[in-house]
């Protein structure tokens, strides 16, 4: 049996390291905290008996454990990311454990001003009687993806302590900057040497995912003309007003808060500016590639329209594709989904095969030649103060990793 307390202790130790990525940095990794965490993990990989351990100058960790069977079996990789979201504080993370959760409201901060309530997050009631790791209400928790890192390391530790469990060669990879869309950019697939892999980067227990959004980022820049409002008639060009008008031309029912499942969206993630100049940051998402392309065209046509109403070049849009739906690369090797589903069932869980409403390193890796679907870590409410993860879900994730390599070798 895996050691629940060891899993909790390792996760909390990693969670306390501030490894937020930085979208404003051009370095790789984008923050020094990721290197701090990487060096801690290197020590742990050596301690649990890994071989071929490396940390490259870009912050990518790789390690192996050799096969213990005398036949050819697939080389399987397990991958997680080091960074946490830059969108909510990851500094001074102070996790605590709610043992034997009783289904009541959980006060996150000492004053009880911030509450994690089942009335707002009903999934909490699925975990009554379990041990929940929560925040102190001031930071994110970092289960995305330090839970994945923890689960991979604990599974490898268990396998090395139990050499009677058959397995082929296993590859381990930890990447930087996944949260800012760069996690697989400098991943050396050839060096990694796996036939296929799984990212441990999903949500609730049982999730298995091989479809994700096609994704693009768009920066809209608006150049206004600031004139005293008392003499502004026919002279002022209010960049903020253009920003508001532009956003209101996008369909309001196609925003993240109004969509689910396979429904795509336009998401205004940041807006700043003055009358003279404004900037809007959008992300565009859709599982269907044709609809994804159409969404980019819709925004481009809106921008073009403003440049006919105002001087040419008043509004500019710079779009960048970020990643694509990995389904195209996974379907030809669907047996790796069947393998994961069997491993989940052997852990006593029914697989929940759903599309990812987001991205994953596995998308880019799949297009780089390493098919990489996504497995659950057990976490909920990622990227904010209401994040939590049941320790028992993490135990099951460890068990699934072990089952995958054992089934593949049998």
**pLDDT digit string (tens) for 309-337?**
999 999 999 999 988 999 999 999 999 99
How many whole angstroms separate alpha carbon 63 and alpha carbon 81? 14
Residue 132: per-residue pLDDT: 98
The DSSP output letter for 186 is: T
| Beta carbons within 10 angstroms of residue 164's beta carbon | 6
User: Residue 111: what pLDDT?
Assistant: 84
Quick: pLDDT tens for 46-95. 999 999 999 999 999 999 999 999 999 999 999 999 999 999 999 999 99
On the CB side of 177, CA atoms within 13 Å amount to 23
Closest CA relative to residue 87, chosen from 131, 22, 132: 22
Beta bridge partners of 79: 173, 199
Question: pLDDT at position 110, please?
Answer: 82
The pLDDT assigned to 1 comes to: 67
Choosing from 83, 177, 254, 361, the catalytic residue is: 83
Per-residue 3-state assignment (H helix, E strand, C coil) for 247-299? HHCCCHHHCHHHCCCCCCEEEEEEEEECCCEEEEEEEEEECCHHHHHHHHHHH
Q: What is the H or E stretch that residue 367 is in? A: helix 361-367
Give the three-class secondary structure for 185.
coil
Residues of the chain with pLDDT > 90, as a percent, come to: 95
The Cα 300–Cα 248 span in angstroms is 15
Q: Give pLDDT tens digits for 14-48.
A: 999 999 999 889 999 999 999 999 999 999 999 99
**Where in the chain are the domains?**
4-212+325-409, 214-323
Q: Is 83 a catalytic residue?
A: yes
pLDDT score, position 29: 97
In CATH terms, 214-323 corresponds, of 3.40.50.10240, 1.20.1420.20, 3.30.70.360, 3.40.1000.10, to 3.30.70.360
- Could you tell me how many residues make up the chain? 410
- Rounded CA-CA distance 75/347 in Å is 22
pLDDT given for residue 4 in this prediction:
95
Task: Write the pLDDT tens digit of every residue in 350-409.
Answer: 999 999 988 789 999 999 999 999 999 999 999 999 999 999 999 999 999 999 999 999
Using CA atoms of 358, 79, 325, 345 in order, give the dihedral in degrees to the nearest 10. Answer: -90
End-to-end alpha-carbon separation of the chain, Å?
20
Under 8 Å between Cβ of 49 and 160:
yes
| Predicted local confidence at residue 232, as pLDDT | 96
pLDDT at 139 over 70: yes
Kindly state which CATH superfamily the domain 4-212+325-409 is placed in: Zn peptidases (3.40.630.10)
> What is the pLDDT at residue 2?
77
- Token pair recorded at residue 170: 């296993």
For the segment 168-187, the average pLDDT, to the nearest whole number, is: 95
Using the predicted structure, report yes or no on whether residue 265 has a pLDDT greater than 80: yes
d(CA 381, CA 134): 11
Marked catalytic residue, from 22, 131, 144, 178 = 178
What 253-257 contacts at long range (C-beta under 8 Å, 24+ apart), as own/partner pairs, is none
* Average pLDDT of the chain to the nearest whole number: 96
**Distance of alpha carbon 397 from the chain centroid:** 16
Give the model confidence (pLDDT) of 179-237 as tens digits: 988 899 999 999 999 999 999 999 999 999 999 999 999 999 999 999 999 999 999 99
């Amino acid at each position: 049996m895996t050691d629940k307390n060891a899993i909790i202790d390792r996760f909390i130790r990693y969670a306390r390291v501030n490894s937020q990525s930085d979208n404003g940095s051009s370095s790789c990794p984008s923050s020094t905290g990721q290197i701090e965490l990487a060096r801690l993990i290197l020590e742990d990989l050596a301690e649990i008996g890994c071989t071929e351990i490396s940390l490259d100058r870009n912050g990518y960790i790789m390690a192996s454990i050799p096969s213990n069977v005398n036949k050819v079996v697939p080389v399987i990789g397990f991958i997680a990311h080091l960074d946490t979201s830059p969108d909510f504080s990851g500094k001074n993370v102070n996790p605590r454990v709610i043992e034997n959760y009783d289904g009541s409201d959980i006060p996150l901060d000492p004053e009880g001003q911030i509450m994690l309530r089942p009335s707002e997050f009903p999934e909490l009631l699925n975990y009554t009687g379990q041990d929940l790791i929560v925040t102190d209400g001031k930071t994110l928790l970092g289960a995305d993806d330090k839970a994945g890192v923890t689960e991979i390391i604990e599974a490898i530790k268990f396998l090395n302590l139990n050499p009677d469990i058959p397995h082929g060669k296993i590859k381990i990879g930890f990447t930087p900057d996944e949260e800012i869309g760069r996690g697989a950019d400098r991943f050396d697939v050839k060096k990694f040497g796996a036939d296929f892999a799984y990212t441990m980067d999903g949500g609730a227990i049982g999730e298995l995912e091989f479809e994700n959004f096609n994704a693009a980022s768009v920066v809209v820049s608006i150049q206004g003309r600031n004139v005293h409002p008392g003499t502004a008639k026919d002279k002022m060009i209010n960049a903020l007003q253009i920003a508001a008008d532009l956003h209101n031309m996008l369909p309001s029912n196609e925003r993240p808060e109004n969509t689910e499942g396979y429904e795509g969206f336009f998401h205004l993630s940041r807006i700043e500016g003055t009358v003279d100049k404004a900037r809007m940051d959008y992300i565009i998402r859709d599982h269907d590639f044709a609809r994804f392309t159409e969404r980019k065209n819709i925004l481009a046509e809106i921008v073009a329209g403003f440049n006919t109403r105002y001087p040419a070049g008043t509004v500019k849009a710079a779009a960048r594709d970020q990643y694509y739906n990995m389904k195209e690369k996974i379907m030809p090797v669907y047996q790796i989904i069947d393998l994961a589903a069997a491993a989940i069932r052997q852990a006593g869980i029914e697989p929940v095969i759903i599309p990812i409403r987001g991205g994953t390193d596995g998308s880019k890796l799949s297009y780089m030649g390493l098919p990489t679907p996504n497995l659950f870590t057990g976490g909920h409410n990622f990227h904010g103060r209401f994040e939590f993860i049941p320790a028992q879900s993490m135990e099951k994730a460890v068990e699934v990793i072990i089952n995958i390599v054992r089934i593949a070798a049998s």
